[in-house]
Chain A
Amino acid sequence: MKTSSAIFSALVVIAGLAGSSAPGVAQETIKIGEINSYSALPSFTEPYRKGWQLALDEINAKGGVDGKKLEVISKDDGGKPADAVTQANELVSNDGVVMLAGTFFSNIGLAVSDFAKQKKIPFLAAEPLTDAITWSKGNRYTFRLRPANYEQAAMLAEQAAKLPAKKWATIAPNYEYGQSAVAVFKKLLSEKRPDIQWVGEQWPPQGKIDAGAVAEAIAKTEPEAILVVTFGPDLVKLVREGNTRGLFKDRSVVGFLTGEPEYLDPLKDETPEGWIVTGYPWNAVTIPDHAAFLKAYQDKYNDYPRLGSVVGYSTLKAAAAILAKAKSTDSEKLVDAAEGIAVDTPFGPITFRKSDHQSTLGAFVGKTALKDGKGVMVDVTYNDGGKYLPSDEDVKALRPQN
């Protein structure tokens, strides 16, 4: 006990010293705290980091914001909400950042958003898709960039309604993301097509799909179309088993996020053709702003951007725009400035809606195809996120009002 307490108090003291002796940073920088799952999800977060670093260079090359350079202090949350809160706390209480940004997983986004609410610090959620972050758990300090689950479902349901298929089955990972994706898609599609029957569902645990058994179980329900929400390594397994077992043959398939390079590229020459998907066809985008982004990205990294790159880039651009508009680093003024702000992104101009703090960033919808042994998206259209969001009036009912 004696030794333990001694060691512990020594640790606390050392920690305190380390904190107080941290090198002072020049006063003319504005600090933004950034948190993401770098070690837990490198396939998404590496391109994401490259994206925001590119944006940071561009902003500072043009003189920063209001004559002050931007500085990003980046932290890894290890994929755990509790650790993300620790990092957020360090950024806010110790490093003196004026706003928080980032996060990938929905639960981490929610944990940080609740922290932001408690500490009254603006938080720009980059990636988390859960509808809760802007609606049922929305708060004054939290904004979200990427099109939410609801929007992705709405874009896909719109296309799915045009299909002749009447018997549908679903495969989705067994957690909130998969559950809400399926629930919203079902609701929206059934509204458009009351004749549709939902004949089967499979809920493999995330990261542990028994793909053969799942494919067989779905095939047994004899659907005419299948909704696939599964992504990442599980998607690769499912596609391989499904291809071999003929699960997708003569069936329409709709896939959440499947067209994102992060998930499409690993499939290589086994990419199933004709799936209706949301995604990011980086070499087929015709939006003018994208061309400049693409060139700058390829020049800097000698690699093509993933969707994560666009998200990272746009997140930092949005943060800079908010700081420039607020002309202050005061939290309340930043929030006021962020509400309704217009930001230029590689996908064109977007705004952060005042009503629910959701940006109008959209997504590409198209069909998967094989080209030179690689998966690509064809028949692509860009869907503006704003068109798929409920109206400001409807949102009021979804969001806690205070």
Chain B
Amino acid sequence: MAPLFSRSWPLALRVSVQHARVFPLNFYFDQFVTGLASACSLFLVASGLSIIFGVTRIVNFAHGAFYMLGAYIGFTLTEQFSGAFGFWGAILLAAIVVAAIGTLIEIILLRRIYDAPELFQLLATFGVTLIVEDLALLIWGPNELLGPRAPGLKGAIDLFGLPFPTYDLLLIALGPLVLGLLWLLFRRTTWGVLVRAATQDREMVAALGVNQKWLFTSVFALGVFLAALGGALELPRQSANHTMDLQVITEVLVVVVIGGLGNVLGTFLAAIIVSELNAFGILVFPKISIVLVFLVMALVLIVRPWGLLGRAEAAARAAGGAAILRWRPLAARGRLAVVLALAVLALAPLAVGDYYLTVATEVLIFVLFAASLHFLIGAGGLVSFGHAAYFGLGSYGAALALKQFGLGMEAALIAGPLLGLAGAILFGWFCVRLSGVYFAMLTLAFAQIAWSVAYQWSDVTGGDNGLLGIWPSAWAAAPAHFYWLTLALVAAGIAALRMILFSPFGYSLRALRDSELRAEAIGLERRRIQWISFAIAGGFAALAGALYAFLKGSVFPDNLGIPLSIDGLVMVLLGGVDTVSGGIVGAALYRSLSIWIISHTDYSKLALGLLIVVLVVLFPKGVVGAFESWRARRAPRTGGESS
């Protein structure tokens, strides 16, 4: 037996390898069929997400929430109705009810923001997820709820000498059945033809007189129906509980991307590959599950940039007539205002107490983090779902410099950003080979791989118990001093990012964002420029992360986690992607509000979710975008510009 903790292994993923044993063939067959059952339950949920994305281009973050609602409503209904008809009727009814809820959300919320910049809808669905989480808690209470088993499918059958759950057999039948039905729907009905046409070219379908609105609504309803059905069908396998939504969302997103976005057959294949690799992988590497899907996704995307069966996305037409604001460096008046604002901020320690200074420090750190992500998204057009990786590498770099190498805070604040920069250079090289959502998902995969390294490599990173005692040097320990240090570094960081933005390099980056073909035709090297911008963004995120480590006194894998990456996206989108200062304002707004809300309410997710939804509807261009359009309308002669 390999020792549980092989302390000497410097391997990031501490692998403990099981005895190499040879099992009789029926064991392998059993494992295969078990994997197949997992694959089918995964596919049911993922197929809905794939369909929604394919047509509406919405990364529906709320898909997990609908899955969870399916389980909860299914639970309530199965409690009401008994018998075989009651059970299956309840499952179906639950999916229909949730689909109706989804339809309402689409009509009330999403329809208003289809014209907003790409991914803005992600923000809305993120808000919906937060709301649903707290509503589920209010309605169904905090306890896990165990639903009934399926009538007639409670036991196991003998499968080559091993007991196998009969319910899993049903799932194995259901997966291909749903795949087949979807195929028929898309290939043999007028509706399906229109949906496929819309998948390929939305504008053209609209131009031909098809009512796009209802096409989108019906597709969204179908996708939500499948999510909820998947959730309700889980009732005989697991309890309805509050963690179901986040449990499933990343996994299905990954499966959809591996398969190729919008390709249902690809999703099915991906679900099988992922589930089978897991079922067999854990026989050899019992700790592989935590990172397996992300490893598979990274490998698939590196080899096939559009997933297994996906095709290159048709170049999206720039939204015609949309007022693209010109980006301008600050004029003299603007500069003066910035200097004044900085002076006010620098004087803050005279006016406010330690707690608010610490909060302000935290907000400043997130301002830099969001500004770096905004540099990538706004100027580079490169949406990253894994920007926390570099923030976290910055934190760990700083913490390790302090703890392992005994360097001081000053050196640690250099070491952290360097580690983040190195990570961004490495991961960026692969990422810039892709584009669009595939680029985003590869950044997510790398972030999750980095996260699992931090999570598993206990000897160096302390695992999930983290690294403690990362406090500033004596001269910077007072909250006011650390605030000043942070203010200075953040201001310098943002100034540097803006200088790069308005340098020739920044112009080339934006040229590539606006028209890759034309930019390449005039001799701009796309990959090199985007790679450098990726590294720059990563380096500044890492500086934020290093400061964060010293602010909190400890570093945990959370610093690299998906929630932080999402927070970054929310900040940038909330502020406004198409503006110069969107990230800065979005971060200040979102972070202050979330700190305040979590400190003052019991239902912070509900409050935050509602707030996001309201802001999304009110400011579809983001807060700064809305302000700038308003200013442009007031002074039409000067034309719109963003500074």
Query: Which residues in A have some Cβ–Cβ distance to B below 8 Å?
Result: 1-9, 11-13, 15-16, 19-20, 38-39, 42-43, 45-46, 75-76, 78, 80-83, 85-87, 89-90, 93-94, 106-107, 110-111, 114-115, 117-118, 130, 132, 137, 174-176, 179, 182-183, 186, 197-205, 207-208, 210-214, 216-217, 219-221, 232-233, 236-237, 240-241, 244-246, 265-268, 270
Decide: B599 and A236 in contact? CB cutoff 8 A: no
B355 within 8 A of A: yes
**What is the CA–CA distance of A268 and B356 in the complex, to the nearest angstrom?**
48
**What is the CA–CA distance of A110 and B603 in the complex, to the nearest angstrom?**
25
Q: Which of B34, B243, B599 contacts A213 (CB 8 A)?
A: B34
Q: Which of B86-94, B96-104, B533-541, B552-560 contacts A (4 or more CB under 8 A)?
A: B552-560
**What is the CA–CA distance of A194 and B275 in the complex, to the nearest angstrom?**
38
What residues of A have a CB within 8 angstroms of the CB of B585 in the complex?
3-4, 7-8
* Residues A233 and B338 in contact in the complex (CB < 8 Å), given A179-B5, A208-B289, A245-B163: no
Decide: B355 and A212 in contact? CB cutoff 8 A: no
Decide: B241 and A89 in contact? CB cutoff 8 A: no
Decide: B553 and A85 in contact? CB cutoff 8 A: yes
B359 within 8 A of A: yes
What residues of B have a CB within 8 angstroms of the CB of A245 in the complex?
156, 162-165
CB within 8 Å: A-B pair count: 296
Decide: B552 and A208 in contact? CB cutoff 8 A: no
Decide: B341 and A9 in contact? CB cutoff 8 A: yes
Decide: A93 and B355 in contact? CB cutoff 8 A: yes
Q: Which of B328-355 contact A (CB under 8 A)?
A: 330, 333-334, 337-338, 341-342, 344-345, 348, 351-355
Contact count band on B? 35 or more
Query: Which residue in chain A gives the minimum CB-CB distance to B234?
Result: A237
* Residues A176 and B4 in contact in the complex (CB < 8 Å), given A2-B643, A110-B554: no
Decide: A199 and B19 in contact? CB cutoff 8 A: yes
Decide: B589 and A7 in contact? CB cutoff 8 A: yes
What residues of A have a CB within 8 angstroms of the CB of B333 in the complex?
2
Decide: A94 and B341 in contact? CB cutoff 8 A: no
B143 within 8 A of A: yes
Query: Which residues in B have some Cβ–Cβ distance to A below 8 Å?
Result: 1, 4-5, 16, 18-19, 21, 23, 27, 30-31, 34-35, 37-38, 134, 137, 142-146, 154-156, 162-165, 167-168, 236-239, 241-244, 246-247, 251, 275, 278-279, 282-283, 286-287, 289-290, 330, 333-334, 337-338, 341-342, 344-345, 348, 351-356, 358-360, 362-363, 367, 455-456, 458, 463-466, 468-469, 471, 479, 498, 548, 552-554, 556, 558-559, 563, 575, 580-581, 584-585, 588-589, 592, 595-596, 598-599, 602-605, 624, 627, 643
Decide: A86 and B275 in contact? CB cutoff 8 A: no
Expressed in whole angstroms, the minimum distance between the Cβ of A17 and any Cβ of chain B is 9
Decide: A86 and B359 in contact? CB cutoff 8 A: yes
What residues of A have a CB within 8 angstroms of the CB of B367 in the complex?
8
**What is the CA–CA distance of A13 and B279 in the complex, to the nearest angstrom?**
56
Decide: A217 and B31 in contact? CB cutoff 8 A: yes
Decide: B146 and A267 in contact? CB cutoff 8 A: yes
Decide: B554 and A114 in contact? CB cutoff 8 A: yes
Expressed in whole angstroms, the minimum distance between the Cβ of A343 and any Cβ of chain B is 27
What residues of A have a CB within 8 angstroms of the CB of B596 in the complex?
15
Expressed in whole angstroms, the minimum distance between the Cβ of B330 and any Cβ of chain A is 6
